[in-house]
Structure 1
């Protein structure tokens, strides 16, 4: 259990490492798809699955944040052939504005450190300004688009962050 506090509200958060197939994490990812997917439908086409989606085979860990036993947020650490990547960071609408997105990033970054990573990457879409602002605020640097994403897709915004010793977060 950890306590996060933002805007005068302190909340106890239970962090779990769960499998990719955990129904609570799956429900949060489905909610993310329902919220974010329509933003890109005109660019990608309706029903088109975006590139680079994680599978149970390439996921190292899925973090699940519970508040009062309810799924509140999730994030995934994935191993690509040449790098570690954070995917599928999402906070349920009922638990936003508490600092959970930053806390999820910290938890997943630390999970990558525990696996020996010295650098980590992530990709988001250009129609997600709140996500881009979060990553910039949390010290992520813009990076060249990397596989499996295309630099010509008109969507991908990629970031990298050093995880060198001494950089561990709370």
Structure 2
């Protein structure tokens, strides 16, 4: 990716990347989350069984939902969530037709910058053990593994949690 003078980013394939911050209830973000659930959910179906999942983010606790637009088309999303004791990255997902463009790293960087703007000194996130591509991304981006934190269940063997300090 290379920056252009219009404040947009040129992707290596020549398309233009722009960013939009919006709310959790934006239907474009909801469509990507639905696609994420359809893709990732089956990986965990046998592990989860009937176990309840932690409550999803709400409009009230989401600082913003980030959308990456490639030539105006919604390509990726990530969420910055504010909880009483921490800031958390949630629901990072890249549309299948827009992968291998560096968007996952770029979304993380945008979320980290947004968290700094909100005064966060560190970020946390949770992923699952059946998402090796996500785990590899977070490790490449300088996230460190930490013990599983609430509301995730350390006994279920699914959660892999990370933390990243955000230098000023």
1:77 equivalent in alignment to 2:80: yes
Q: 1:136 aligns to what?
A: 139
**Per the alignment, in what secondary structure is the counterpart of residue 20 of structure 1?**
coil
1:146 equivalent in alignment to 2:146: no
Total equivalences in the alignment: 162
Cα separation, 2, equivalents of 1:93 and 1:49? 27
Structure 1 unaligned residues grouped into runs of 5+:
166-170
**Per the alignment, in what secondary structure is the counterpart of residue 154 of structure 2?**
coil
Structure 2 unaligned residues grouped into runs of 5+:
1-6
The CA deviation at 1:108 is 0.5
- Per-residue CA deviations over 1:77-135 (Å, capped at 9, x if unaligned) read 00111000000000000000000000000001111000000110000000000000000
Q: 2:3 aligns to what?
A: none
Task: Answer yes or no: is the 8 Å Cα contact 2:64–2:79 preserved in 1.
Answer: yes
**TM-score normalised over the length of structure 1:** 0.90
User: After superposition, where does 1:35-74 map in structure 2 within 5 Å?
Assistant: 35-45=39-49, 50-74=53-77
Which of 4, 9, 12 does residue 3 from structure 1 map onto? 9
Superposed CA RMSD: 1.4
Residue 4 and residue 122 in structure 1: after superposition, are their counterparts in 2 closer, same or farther (change >3 A)?
Answer: farther
**TM-score normalised over the length of structure 2:** 0.91
Task: Answer yes or no: is the 8 Å Cα contact 1:2–1:12 preserved in 2.
Answer: yes
Task: Answer yes or no: is the 8 Å Cα contact 1:79–1:85 preserved in 2.
Answer: yes
**Per the alignment, in what secondary structure is the counterpart of residue 28 of structure 1?**
helix
Which of 95, 107, 115 does residue 92 from structure 1 map onto? 95
